[in-house]
Structure 1
Amino acid sequence: MSASRTLSLVAVASLIAASPAAAQTAGYFQPVNLSSGFSVEPRHSSTALEGALRGRAKVIESLGKYRVYDAQANILNQQARGLSYENDVKQTETLYRKQYLWRQHREEERAREIQRDALGKELLAQRRATYYRDTYRLDADQLNRTTGRVSWPESLDHDQFASTRSQIDFLFRQRSRYPAGSDDPFAGRILKLTEQLKADLKEQLADMDPTDYADAQKFVRGLMYEVQYPTELG
């Protein structure tokens, strides 16, 4: 076989092996193996010239293979760098995704905690309102919720309380004209006056019978909780 024919066969084989169909698998470059599985070339040259040409062809073939393998190595190196970059990007995306999920979980847990706290406070306020309303609620003889008339106990029916009593009487009469459940425009002033009445009672503590003092304080608290925790008419 002549040297030129050998070179032609090598070139054709290289082109076939380096074709896109043979070189690409799953989107990645696959190295091309230029070594044939077996050789049918004769072991000895028939003439010295043939031997020289055959040797020269082998050198050229080896140089070609070297350049192909070197180019493939560069391609694989770039491919490895690209895969490393993709892995870094995916790891970074995964990290940020985890951080986002952790932050979202903390925010959701915080929102649930705030909701639980708000619900707990609401239930506590309802229980407190029920307790105060049931404990200090004035009966119909003490407070007529239809007319707003307040029947003061004897312990509070003294001149030192007259000014505060008259203001509270007026406000409760005005308050009775508003439908139940509506905003109470008099609650703030009534609470302020009842606080003043409690303070005035404390100043008279030394001169009052303990039972009368306790009853008077309970009555004043009944007026306070009437506007803080209003009940239905009846």
Structure 2
Amino acid sequence: MRTVIRKLTFFGMCLIMLFSAGHTASAAGPFFPRQTVYNFGGGLSPAVYYGNRWGYGGGYYGGGYYGGNWGDTRSALIRAQGQAAESRAKAMVNYQEANSKYIENQKKLAETYVARQKAQRESMHEQAAIKEMQAQQRQAAMEKQAEKNRKMRESGLSPYLNASASQDKETLSSSQLNPATGEISWPESLMGDEYKASREKMQELFSLKNSTGVTSSLSSEIESEAIVMKNILRGQIRNMLPNDYLSARGFIEGLANMGKTA
């Protein structure tokens, strides 16, 4: 009888131990290998507290990382990445537009510069052509006048009449010399480049005379400049009509005489 009781007791204890082992070692936590049960001094395995491999009810701290918010965090991360990609795309578009405008502006500047340079060259060529034409016209007029003078001398006539006669009483009209301002209106025969320096000097002297009045030194300077102009005119005597020569000489004499009067 005792043997039977012992066998039944032993059999019951085995059943209890098998039931406890199946309950406590059904799963392992995230830090313990699956189906491993450890003996913590009579206490329960950590698998009991974590419930299964994912801990606290099916995942880290319940249904996913930290309470089931991992899905929302992942979605937010994806949205942030998409927004960043969109921002980069917009920035690239803006850069391309700005670069295109810069290139277009540089092209316009280059075209404007080329057009300006072309206009300047054309203007220079045009002015050079005008000067050359004027020089040719003057040369033709001088040659024509020289031929006329030659024919007059061959016929026995003097082309210059009283060219050497004194013109001490020559004066200028108000249209030739403005008495209020001292401005000189030069005849065409004295507008050549060879008279330019003398014209500027005479105008300076008469402007000074108009503001300060007549002085001996000023009259002397006017007389000296008149002699310079007459010498230049004398060098052109063979290329001028007699009347043009006499008119130019009379104008220079008139300036010299007007420089002596108040």
TM-score range, shorter-chain basis? Answer: 0.3 to 0.5
User: Larger relative CO (CA 8 A, sep 6+): 1 or 2?
Assistant: 1
Q: Rg: which structure is higher?
A: 2
More helix by share: 1
